[in-house]
Amino acid sequence: DAYRQTVIMVTHDPGAAAHADRVLFLADGTIVHELLSPTSDQVHAVMRRMEG
């Protein structure tokens, strides 16, 4: 926050994604879900639901 910068990371690793302040989930280029301050379990749960 002090640097007022944004880092964009693309990953399928729930553990890596859990380090982010905000995680966006995309399907066919569209944002379909968002988590704020997620845990790896939360990220993994959304990924499982998206796999159908």
Distance, in Å, from the CA atom of 29 to the CA atom of 31, rounded to the nearest integer, reads 7
pLDDT of residue 52: 80
Q: What digits encode the pLDDT tens for the residues 1-52?
A: 789 999 999 999 999 999 999 999 999 999 999 999 999 999 999 999 999 8
Whole-model pTM?
Answer: 0.87
- Per-residue model confidence (pLDDT) at position 14: 98
Q: What is the pLDDT of residue 36?
A: 98
